[in-house]
Amino acid sequence: MTPHRIFATGLLLAAFTLPAFADPAAAIRARDRALADDTAWNIVQSLTSEIGPRPAGSDAAARARDWGLAEFKAMGFSNIHLEPFAKHAWLRGAESGEILTPYPHKLALIGLGLSVPTPSGGMTGEVLVFPSLADLQNAPADCCTGKIVLVNQPMTRTQDITGYGTAVAARSAAHEAAKHGAIAYLVRSISTASNRSPHAGAMQPWAPGEKPIPAAAIGVPDADAIAYLAKSGPVRVHLNLQSRFVDTTAWNVVGEIPGSDPGAGAIVIGGHLDSWDPGTGAIDDAAGIAITLAAARLVEHPKRTIRVVMWGSEETGGSGAAYLEAHKNELSSIAIAGESDLGADRVFSLQLPAGAWDNDDIKPLRAILAPLKVIPSTVPAEDGGSDVENIHAAGVPVLALNQDASRYFDYHHSADDTLAVVDPAQLRQNVAAWAATLDMLADSAADFRKGMK
């Protein structure tokens, strides 16, 4: 071979192996490696077993922060750092509840995040049952004076988030109950399960001028039992809900896979590190952290930087706002963002910003995702997850890898959110969908802001 021919071959090889734009073969490799890899499972197991429940502001949240730093390091991420922010944290104290009359027995109950406490000895009152939130809203203004309101509204099981979206307003209806004169508020757990585990979750914070009342969720069968008894006469319950607020610090924990082209911007992804306390936060949201970490690590030589954020306070709010505040002057360097925060079950569709599917760089992704049974949704992505909501509102495009949530709300925020309900095969599919998508987006030249409203 002449020197001239060697030179020409080298040029050809360089042109072939270093594509200017997204390389579908690399995305396919990332997808297939994910399907044979248990990295995500191991991460969920580690976080749930070694840290356990980790509400923002708790001692466990600080240990979770250190776990996050160590995990990034162990996985070979770069630019690992903490982004602290002030946190007015709600911490649960002792809690109990019981039916006193007509038939005494204990209630399965859990205080709602951001609730005020009862007096230290608890409180007693008669329960007024409303079959739905609308029934409470439409009731006369003085309907509930001196009473404990129960909204006993069942949640509908859906594949996507709409069942939850419809039901979750009842978790904040303490505001409505207080307006109607109630002294405390109980909600049937926002749950699709029939078991007795009460489901925690935050309520909307009290506004100045409102008269705060204590609020708790009770088990689905407990709510049905009270509703049944109330048909025949007064039901009196005793509630003891202790909690306090502390001013402390929370952290977003950040690591990066650096891109080869600093001018191409970053892709911001992640899951949230904080969790509710009855379970160990496996599907909410150790899974989101595991999926995005494992997927980012499978991307080969990205052109855009892939930045993984372990958000530090999703459940009671604050991490998305803190991220916007810290990065408000560099939002144009974020090409696109997304969060994994709907469990560990399979991805069924991918939503991208308007027009993105028509981009020549992105088009091959349809076929790459097809074997995973992931549909390219034609509905433009508007909800990338609650921790990227603030930067999205400030102009950052988002993506949504929509997960099958059919059984998610059986366990969400309850004692049953543990590793036991994570399906390893679906978790692998999830990582594969994220890895292939990230690989294509990281190498594409597409401007995702073009289609934004």
**Looking at the DSSP assignment, which residues form a beta bridge with residue 298?**
none
How far is Cα 128 from Cα 147, in angstroms, rounded to an integer?
6
For Zn ion, which stretch binds (CB under 5 A), given 13-21, 262-270, 281-289, 345-353? Answer: 281-289
Nearer to Zn ion, 136 or 289 (CB): 289
Among 142, 136, 133, 196, residue whose Cα is nearest residue 170? 133
Contact 205, 146 (CB under 8 A): no
State the virtual CA torsion across 315, 319, 320, 322 in degrees, nearest 10. Answer: 150
As measured in angstroms, the least distance from the Cβ of 285 to Zn ion is 4
Instruction: Say whether residue 284 binds Zn ion (CB under 5 A).
Output: yes
Give me the least distance between CB of 400 and Zn ion, in Å please.
Answer: 14
Measured distance CA(114)–CA(285) in Å, rounded? 20
107 close to 218: Cβ distance less than 8 angstroms: yes
Among 256, 277, 339, 341, binds Zn ion (CB under 5 A): 341
CB closer to Zn ion out of 72 and 408: 408
Q: Nearest distance from residue 229's CB to Zn ion, in Å?
A: 34
Q: Two tokens at 254?
A: 């950040």
Shortest reach from residue 412's CB to Zn ion, in Å: 8
Which of these ranges, 137-145, 208-216, 259-267, 284-292, lies near Zn ion under the rule CB under 5 A? 284-292
Per-residue contact track with Zn ion, 350 to 389, x per CB under 5 A?
----------------------------------------
Q: Closer to Zn ion at the Cβ: 275 or 349?
A: 275
Nearest to 421 by CA among 341, 345, 314, 339: 345
The least CB distance from residue 281 to Zn ion, in Å, is: 8
Binding segment for Zn ion (CB under 5 A), chosen from 13-21, 69-77, 278-286, 431-439, is 278-286
Which span (95-103, 106-114, 341-349, 442-450) binds Zn ion, by CB under 5 A?
341-349
> Is the CA virtual torsion 175, 180, 183, 187 positive or negative?
negative
Sign of CA dihedral 68, 74, 77, 80: positive
Query: Which of 15-23, 255-263, 279-287, 427-435 is the region at the interface with Zn ion (rule: CB under 5 A)?
Result: 279-287
In this complex, which beta carbon is closest to Zn ion, that of residue 65 or of residue 238?
A: 65
285 or 404, CB closer to Zn ion? Answer: 285
Give least dist CB 341 to Zn ion, A. Answer: 4
- Residue 277 or 341 having the CB closest to Zn ion: 341
Name which position in 285, 339, 345, 361 contacts Zn ion (CB under 5 A). 285
List of residues 6+ apart from 93 with CB closer than 8 A: 117, 241, 242, 243, 244
Q: Count Cα neighbours of 257 within 13 Å in the Cβ-side half-sphere.
A: 25
Identity of the residue, 24 or 198, whose beta carbon is nearer to Zn ion in the bound complex: 198
Q: What is the DSSP string of 5-22?
A: HHHHHHHHHHHHHS-SS-
> What is the bridge-based pairing of β-strands 400-403 and 347-351?
antiparallel
User: d(Cα 117, Cα 240) in Å, to the nearest integer?
Assistant: 8
Q: From residue 99 to residue 118, what is the string marking binding to Zn ion with x (rule CB under 5 A)? A: --------------------
Number of residues that bind Zn ion (CB under 5 A): 3
Q: How far is the CB of 272 from Zn ion (least distance, A)?
A: 6
User: Are 21 and 444 a contacting pair, CB within 8 Å?
Assistant: yes
Helix residue spans in 168-299 (DSSP H): 174-179, 220-230, 287-298
| DSSP-assigned letter for residue 204 | P
x/- binding map, residues 295-334, to Zn ion, per CB under 5 A? ----------------------------------------
**Other CB atoms within 10 A of residue 200 CB:** 28
Which CB atom, from 341 or from 361, has the smaller least distance to Zn ion? 341
Among candidate residues 256, 314, 315, 389, the one labeled active-site is: 314
Stretch that binds Zn ion, among 18-26, 67-75, 282-290, 427-435 (CB under 5 A): 282-290
Q: Binding string, 166-205, against Zn ion, x = CB under 5 A?
A: ----------------------------------------
Which has the closest alpha carbon to 40: 419, 448, 447, 449? 419
314 classed as catalytic: yes
What DSSP line would sit under 255-278, residue for residue? EEE--S-GGG-EEEEEEES---SS
Our CB check for Zn ion shows the closer of 256 and 284 to be 284
Minimum CB separation of residue 199 from Zn ion in Å reads 13
- In angstroms, give the least distance from the CB of 414 to Zn ion: 13
CB burial of 341-376 (b: ≥16 within 10 Å; e: otherwise) equals bbbbbbbbbbbbbbebbebebbbbbeebbeebebeb
Residue positions annotated with a catalytic role: 314
List of residues contacting Zn ion (CB under 5 A) = 284-285, 341
